[in-house]
Structure 1
Amino acid sequence: MDVLQSVFQYILDLGASVFVPLIMIIVGIAVRMKWKEAFSAGIILGVAFAGMGVVIGFMLDALTPAGQGLVERTGIELNVVDAGWTSLATLAWAWPLAFLMFPLQMGVNAILLVMNKTETLNVDLWNVWGKILTAVLVIGVTNNVALAFVIAAIQMVAELLIADVNQKHIEKVTGIPGVTVSHGMMIFGVFLLPFNWLLSKVPLFDRHIDANTLKEKFGAFAENHVMGFIIGVLLGIAAGYTVPETLTLAIQAAAALTLFPMVAKLFMQALSPLSDAISEFMKSRFKHRKLNIGLDWPILAGSNELWVAVIVWVPITLLYAIILPGNNVLPFAGIINISMAAPALIITGGNLLRMIILGIITTPVFLYIATGFAPTITQLAQDTGAIALDSGQMISWSTIEYPVFRYLFAHVGEGHLLGFLFVGIWAALFVLYLKTMKARKVEDDTAEETEYKENVM
């Protein structure tokens, strides 16, 4: 058992930028790619992940001090420290049974593929820590290890089914055929679905407004670098920065928004040949089967809408943290809310205005659930010793991924009737989400077929 744990831990310690490309090289060779081409595509994929990490780190380093300055000007003091995803990942891996989640995820995926219940091969195995964290939170609330594994398995199934129905929409965003996002953060789309539907019925929000629409209306002012500069200036002013500090922040924000699409092109360069090879392999051996590759969220990072929304949400999140009664979390390490941006991008079809409004509506959910989980996370950190805490200090994660799913399923184990009711409502929304996204796919396919026929004629 210890040997198995050591093997899995060694593999996962390589990190996403090394581990995922290795998996993709193996997959490429398995579907009869030339080994040189598979190796080259894998290396480029690793460069894309590493490059995206560098740019995100750069943006986080620029925005976090501005957020701190804004909060300091208010004089507010909140007693729960935002430890971000890295600390929570450390806490997850401190669980002695964490290594068992790796074969469980592969097993669940394999069973669903064999049963033809999914079209997604999830190679984003490094993010198995997300399932581990869910299990650890369940144990922290219920002290039930068996239930923790059951709920983690439910999450794995949900991730794959959502990846299936999202695939067409993700292909439109990325321009890469045969790929999808199998990261658990997409589960939050289930919660966003009814809000997005309501917004679509409001005349002001029923129009599609994306980055291209803004460019048509506002010209150069809607270019990535200009929008980044303007947002940076506004954040600098709100934080009380001096003129030089404000201009520096503006250039940093402009640089980040300019670099993201450039780095994202590397994903297309790496994944397109792999996708083509997999498609040809499936056609030659399984004529009625399709196989999509499930990857981490950075393949969506070429979307301008995602980053504009994320930066706009920064002051909104800080404002909510200050004014919401009952919130105890001060957002810093998790201030960049990709957990909401990625699912919002897909559920709205890239409608920037609607994405921003969804963020305004649902950001309190993240803060309140982060506050609710704070005692559990703090106790787990103290029990495992994985995170050093000062006496009386509490920690959480302000933008915890798929917060509604984790909170409901962690607390349903307490056996309260209300808990079962809320889980039932979530399950109904989950089914509705699958049906809605499938229906959208049919509409898109019909529209594409009609356009093709018109062009041919």
Structure 2
Amino acid sequence: MDAIIKVFQFIQGLGVSVVMPIVIFIIGCAFRTGVGKSLRAGLTVGVGFIGLNLVINSLLGTSLSPAVQAMVDRYGLSLSTIDVGWPASAAIAMGSTVGLIIIPLGLLVNIVMLLTNTTQTVDVDIWDYWHFAFTGALVAIITDTLWLGIIAAVVNMVIIMVLGDVTAPEVEKSLDLPGVSLPHGFTTAYAPIAMVINKLIDMIPGVRDININMDTVQRRFGVFGEPILVGTFLGIIIGIIAGYDVTEVLTLGISLGAVLVLIPKMAALLMEGLIPISDAASEFIQGRFQNRGKIYIGLDSAVGVGHPVTLAISFILVPLLIFLAVVLPGNTVMPFADLAVIPWMFVLITPIVKENGFRGLIVGLIVLVFGLWIATDLAPMITTAANNVNFQMPEGASQISSICDGANPLTWALVRLNGLGYIGTGVGAFVAAAMAIWNRNRIKKEASQLHDGGEAA
């Protein structure tokens, strides 16, 4: 087991831009795409991920976070729990006992679900298994039982895999990502909430007719409604609120305008490499298993972050989140390090609300309010998990938390369920099993319709 763990730790250490080309090449060869095409596809995907990371880290991360810190300093804001960001959360999760086995465990769960036809997704995004490990680590702390933590991690993954399948058609249509699903532990957790709120809005006369999307904005404002100008305008507003001088305001505006332009281009490059492999995988599976339906490649939700509505909503909500953190009763978390991941919350919310920016903002405000309360509630356990792996606490910090995954509603629900004892663990396992069985029936029905349609043609 130690040798196996070391192998997976080595693979994880190589990074997504190195391992993803290897994984895509192997999958392409397995599905008879050809050595040359598989190699090109893998390298193109790797380059796409490098481009995404450069834009997200160099432009979004280094531009937005300092602006928010300037807001905090300018208005003298202070709260007792520090947002340490997703890299720290991932390190804490993967350093836990659950984290040590999460990659082989996650691969096993995916294989079992594929064999039992309870998922349509081949999840190659093994780095983001840390979200499941994060849940498992907190459950192990609250129950003081390792195996309950492992069960919670599996339950989390099963639920996310099913939600990834269900939302995949909208991902294909709205985000222009054919053959892709997003079984991402953070992003996908918000999909059910968006579905419920979207349905509730449909019941409210007048409000249900409000529709703000990029097409409407561009028709109304012409060139001034294009993503590059929307991003630049929002960047300038954030810079002014932060108290920047003219040079800094304009630099932030150009940087956020660049984000709205470059992320979609990097995602398109990534898809250029992935589409041949996705098509080959679907053709291979459907040709041999008539009840399998369409097969999706599961990727990091970073590939969908670049949608103009997603980014515009996120830029609007960043300063609002700071305000909410200060005025919200019961909150102790000061958002900081994870502000750059706010767009990840909306990757699936945007398709679910049909790219309606108004509805996206409503959903966003609700999930951020409850997210702050969740992050506050989980802070003691996250701090304990950090101490268990000898995480270096920020100077002067008594408690830490994060937006990703500290504000994750699914993580919170599973942790609190398991805190009720074995009954709560059983409820979580039952929900995951019921969702998997329901998904199997849905997949078989979809496969039957595809098969009947093919015969009719």
What TM-score does the superposition give when structure 2 sets the normalisation length? 0.89
Partner of 2:373: 368
1:163 matches 2:164:
yes
Aligned mates of 2:67, 2:281 — CA distance in 1: 45
Q: How much does 1:169 deviate?
A: 0.8
1:454 aligned residue: none
Note if contact 2:160-2:184 (Cα within 8 Å) is conserved in structure 1. yes
Aligned mate of 1:308, from 312, 332, 335:
312
| Residues 93 and 99, structure 2, Cα contact 8 Å, conserved in 1 | yes
Q: CA deviation at 1:75?
A: 1.5
SS across alignment from 1:395:
strand
1:386 match: secondary structure: coil
Correspondence for 1:187: 189
Q: 1:404 aligns with which of 396, 405, 409?
A: 409
Query: Which residue in 2 is equivalent to 1:39?
Result: 39
Is the Cα–Cα contact under 8 Å of residues 225 and 254 in structure 1 kept in the other structure? yes
In structure 2, distance between residues paired with 1:84 and 1:313: 17
* Residue equivalent to 1:90: 91
SS of 1:13 mapped into structure 2: helix
Displacement after TM superposition at 1:139 (Å): 1.6
- For the pair 1:357 / 2:351, whether they are aligned, the reply is no
Give the C-alpha shift of residue 350 in structure 1.
Answer: 2.0
CA contact (8 A) 1:189 1:347 kept: yes
Paired amino acid for 2:44: I
Q: Return the match for 1:201 from 200, 203, 207.
A: 203
The residue identity in structure 1 corresponding to 2:93 is A
Q: Does 1:9 align with 2:9?
A: yes
Residues of 2 paired with 1:75 and 1:302: CA distance?
Answer: 33
Contiguous gaps of at least 5 residues in structure 2: none
Equivalence map 1:203-218=2 (5 Å): 203-218=206-221
- Which residue matches 1:387? 392
Tell whether 2:27 aligns with 1:27. yes
Query: Corresponding residue for 1:452?
Result: none
Given that residues 70 and 239 in structure 1 are in contact (C-alpha distance below 8 angstroms), is that contact kept between their aligned partners in structure 2? yes
User: CA separation in 1, counterparts of 2:411 and 2:256?
Assistant: 32
Cα shift at 1:31: 0.4
**Deviations along 1:57-106, whole A, 9 cap, x unmatched?**
12121111211122223212112111100001111121134232222212
Within 5 Å, give how 1:274-285 maps onto structure 2: 274-285=277-288
Distance 1:392 1:115, change over 3 A: closer
2:245 to 235, 242, 247: 242
- For residues 111-260 of structure 1, what are the structure 2 equivalents within 5 Å? 111-185=112-186, 186-202=188-204, 203-260=206-263
> Which deviates further from its counterpart, 361-370 or 297-306?
297-306
Q: Counterpart of 2:18 in structure 1: which amino acid? A: V
2:82 partner amino acid: V
Farther-moved stretch of structure 1 (245-254 vs 398-407) = 398-407
Q: Structure 1: which 5+ runs fail to align? A: 450-457
Is the 2:235–2:252 contact (alpha carbons within 8 Å) kept by the matching residues of 1? yes
The Cα shift of 1:392 comes to: 5.0
| Structure 2 residue matching 1:293: 3-state secondary structure | strand
* In structure 1, distance between residues paired with 2:394 and 2:180: 41
Q: Aligned residue for 1:68?
A: 69
Distance 2:324 2:421 in 1: 30
| Deviation at residue 208 of structure 1 after TM alignment | 4.1
Cα pair distance change 1:63/1:76, threshold 3 Å: same
* Alpha-carbon distance in 2 for matches of 1:97, 1:302: 32
2: CA distance, partners of 1:274 / 1:216 = 37
Partner amino acid for 2:50?
A: A
1:269 Cα deviation from its structure 2 partner: 0.8
1:86-143 deviation digits (Å, cap 9, x = unpaired): 0011111211342322222122111121112221111111211111111111122221
CA distance in 1, matches of 2:384, 2:113: 36
Asked if the contact 1:373/1:396 (under 8 Å) is kept, the reply is yes
Structure 2 distance, partners of 1:427, 1:322, is 36
SS in 2 for 1:184: coil
| Residue 414 (structure 1) aligns with | 419
Alpha-carbon separation, structure 2, partners of 1:401 and 1:35: 42
Contact 2:331/2:372, CA 8 A, preserved across alignment: yes
**Structure 1, residues 270-323: CA drift from partner, whole Å, max 9, x if none?**
111112222322243234433211111022134211111111110111110111
Label 1:225 to 1:4 Cα distance change in 2 as closer, same or farther (>3 A).
same
Identify which range, 151-160 or 273-282, moves more after superposition.
Answer: 273-282
CA displacement at 1:29 relative to structure 2: 0.5
Task: Report the identity percentage.
Answer: 33
Deviates more, 1:382-391 or 1:145-154: 382-391
Contact (CA 8 Å) 1:366, 1:400: kept in 2 or not? no
Taking a change above 3 Å as real, the CA distance of residues 392 and 266 of structure 1, as seen in their structure-2 partners, is closer
Paired position in structure 2 for 1:296: 300
How far 1:332 sits from its partner (Å)?
0.9
AA aligned to 1:340 is M
Distance change >3 Å, CA 287–CA 268, structure 1 → 2: same
Q: CA deviation digits over 1:229-274, x for unaligned, max 9?
A: 1101111111111222211111111111111121121122111111
Match of 1:321 among 318, 325, 328: 325
1:381 counterpart letter in structure 2: A
Paired with 1:76 and 1:178, the residues of 2 have a C-alpha distance of 45
Partner of 1:342, secondary structure, is coil
> 1:369 & 1:283 partners in 2: Cα distance?
42
